[in-house]
C-alpha cells in the first residue's frame, strides 16, 4: 500500500471532547483514575497517558475543577514559565477510588465500538492490493510446487478463508507466514474499545508490531496534526495458533480483578491474518472450530457476549488460514467444507525439487555438498520409503549431520556414513518393543 493510502486510512485526531464519543462521566472518571494511579500533575503528562491532545485534556481538567475534583497548584517558578500543575482534591481522590472499584482501567481513552467498526472498514484486509510480484517475493525463500502461487494469489486477495492441506513437513506453515509477509502495509489498532460502558483492551504487543506512521508528530502539543493517538500504527497483524487453540480463546476474556475485558484472538487479528496451524491437533474437534467461524467468515461480523450475557456485534475482518495434515473429508462435513472458500493441496516435492531444496539448505548451513553422499541418499535410502520426499527432510538430515560433526570435533561435512546415521533418526523402526 502506498504512503498516500496509508495516510488516508489514518483515524483523524479528535478536535473536541465530543469527538471522543464517550459519556462525560466516563471521561471524568478516566481522568481522575489516571491522575491518581500515575501521580500526574501536568496536562502534557495526562495527554501522553490518555492518548488524547492537550486541549482536550485541559477541557476535562477545567470541568473537573468546576466539580471540585481537581485543584490548581500553580507553576513551578514565580515567573510562571513552567506548565501549570494540578492535583486531585480530597473529593477527587474519593471519586477516583470509587471509580477504581468499578473498573481498574485507566490510561488511554478507549474508542467507541462504532468508531472501531468504521476504522476496520477503512483499512479492511479486503482492500489489500496483492500483486503476483509481491506474493512471489514473500515466498522467494521457498521452493513451491508449480502453479501454487497462481492458486494462492486469488485466495489471499479475496480476503476469504483458505484451507491448506497435505502431508506433514511440506511447508504449509511457511506458506502461511509468507502470506502474512506479503501483506506488507499498516493498520491502526485501538489501544482499547468501549461498548456499553465496558472496556475491552485490544492492542497486544505480542500480536501487534508498532511502526512509525507516515508523519510522526513527537510533540504532545502538536498532536492535533497527527493521527488519533488512541490507535497504534502497526504492521498488519498475524495471529498464529496451533494445537493450543481452544474455543474459549475466541470469546471475550474477563478479568474479575481489573473488571475489564481482553479482546479475543480474532478481534486482535482485525485487518490482518489468523493462522490456525496443525488443525486437527487441538483438544476441540475441527468441526467445532469451523462451526464457530461459520457466521464470521460468511457475514463479516462476529457476535461476542459480556459477563451479563448481553451480546453485541463486532467487525470480523481477517483472512483465516487453516493448515492441516489431515484430508479435509476426514475432519469436516460437506457443509463446513462449503464455507471454506479456497482449498489448496500442498504436496511433497518432486525429486528435482527436493534436490534443489537440499542444495539451498546445505548452502545456508555451510555444509559442502558431496556427490557420493547424495547418490547414496537418493539410491539407497529413499527407495526404502518409496521415494516419498518431504520439504523438512533436508533441514532434518543436515542438522543431524552437523550435530555429529560438532560432537566429534570435525568440520561440517557429509558422507554416506553420516547420511545413514541421520536417516536412522528420520524414521522409527515399526517393530514391537519387547517387555
Rounded Cα distance, 14 and 110, in Å: 13
Q: What is the pLDDT of residue 4?
A: 39
CA distances from 129 to 96, 149, 157, 388 (A): 47, 15, 7, 37
**pLDDT tens by residue, 245-277:** 999 999 999 999 999 999 999 999 999 989 888
Report residue 132's pLDDT band, with 50, 70 and 90 as the boundaries.
confident
- 369 phi-psi bin (left φ>0, alpha ψ -120 to 50, beta other): beta
Q: What is the pLDDT of residue 435?
A: 65
User: 3-class SS at 73?
Assistant: strand
| Cα end-to-end distance, the chain, whole Å | 63
Q: Taking all residues of the chain, what is their mean pLDDT, rounded to a whole number? A: 87
Q: What is the pLDDT of residue 81?
A: 57
| Residue 317 or residue 148, greater confidence | 317
**pLDDT tens by residue, 6-53:** 445 899 999 999 999 999 999 999 999 999 999 999 999 999 999 999
Report residue 431's pLDDT band, with 50, 70 and 90 as the boundaries.
low
| Residue 166 or residue 354, greater confidence | 354
Three cell numbers, residue 76: 513551578
Residue found by looking up cell 486477495 in the block = 157
Gyration radius (Cα) of the chain, Å: 28
Amino acid at each position: 500500500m502506498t504512503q498516500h493510502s496509508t495516510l488516508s486510512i489514518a483515524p483523524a485526531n479528535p478536535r473536541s471532547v465530543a469527538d471522543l464519543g464517550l459519556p462525560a462521566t466516563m471521561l471524568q472518571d478516566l481522568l481522575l483514575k489516571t491522575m491518581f494511579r500515575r501521580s500526574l500533575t501536568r496536562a502534557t503528562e495526562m495527554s501522553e497517558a490518555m492518548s488524547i491532545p492537550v486541549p482536550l485534556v485541559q477541557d476535562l481538567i477545567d470541568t473537573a475543577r468546576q466539580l471540585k475534583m481537581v485543584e490548581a497548584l500553580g507553576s513551578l517558578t514565580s515567573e510562571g514559565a513552567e506548565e501549570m500543575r494540578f492535583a486531585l482534591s480530597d473529593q477527587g481522590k474519593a471519586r477516583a477510588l470509587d471509580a477504581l472499584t468499578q473498573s481498574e482501567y485507566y490510561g488511554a481513552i478507549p474508542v467507541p465500538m462504532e468508531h472501531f467498526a468504521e476504522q476496520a472498514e477503512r483499512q479492511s484486509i479486503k482492500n489489500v492490493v496483492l500483486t503476483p510480484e509481491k506474493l512471489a517475493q514473500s515466498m522467494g525463500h521457498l521452493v513451491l510446487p508449480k502453479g501454487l502461487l497462481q492458486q494462492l494469489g486469488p485466495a489471499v486477495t479475496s480476503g476469504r478463508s483458505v484451507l491448506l492441506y497435505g502431508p506433514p513437513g511440506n511447508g504449509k506453515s511457511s506458506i502461511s507466514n509468507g502470506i502474512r509477509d506479503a501483506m506488507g502495509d499498516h493498520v491502526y489498532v485501538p489501544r482499547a474499545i468501549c461498548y456499553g460502558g465496558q472496556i475491552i483492551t485490544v492492542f497486544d504487543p505480542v500480536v501487534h508490531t508498532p511502526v512509525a506512521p507516515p508523519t510522526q508528530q513527537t510533540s504532545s502539543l502538536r498532536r492535533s496534526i497527527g493521527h488519533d493517538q488512541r490507535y497504534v500504527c502497526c504492521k498488519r497483524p498475524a495471529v498464529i495458533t496451533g494445537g493450543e487453540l481452544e474455543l474459549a480463546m475466541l470469546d471475550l476474556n474477563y478479568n474479575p480483578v481489573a473488571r475489564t475485558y481482553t479482546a479475543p484472538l480474532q478481534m486482535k487479528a482485525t485487518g490482518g491474518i489468523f493462522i490456525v496451524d496443525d488443525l486437527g491437533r487441538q483438544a476441540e474437534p475441527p468441526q467445532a472450530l469451523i462451526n464457530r467461524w461459520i457466521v464470521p467468515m460468511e457475514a463479516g461480523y462476529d457476535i461476542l457476549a459480556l459477563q451479563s450475557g448481553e451480546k453485541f456485534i463486532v467487525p470480523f475482518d481477517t483472512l483465516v488460514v487453516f493448515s492441516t495434515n489431515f484430508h479435509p473429508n476426514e475432519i469436516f462435513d460437506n457443509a463446513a467444507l462449503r464455507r471454506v472458500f479456497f482449498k489448496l493441496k500442498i504436496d511433497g516435492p518432486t525429486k528435482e525439487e527436493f534436490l534443489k531444496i537440499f542444495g539451498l539448505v546445505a548452502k545456508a548451513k555451510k555444509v559442502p555438498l558431496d556427490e557420493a553422499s547424495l547418490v547414496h541418499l537418493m539410491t539407497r535410502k529413499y527407495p526404502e520409503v518409496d521415494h516419498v520426499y518431504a520439504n523438512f527432510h533436508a533441514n532434518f538430515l543436515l542438522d543431524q549431520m552437523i550435530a555429529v560433526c560438532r560432537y566429534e570435533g570435525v568440520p561440517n561435512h557429509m558422507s554416506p556414513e553420516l547420511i545413514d546415521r541421520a536417516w536412522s533418526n528420520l524414521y522409527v523402526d515399526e517393530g514391537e518393543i519387547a517387555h
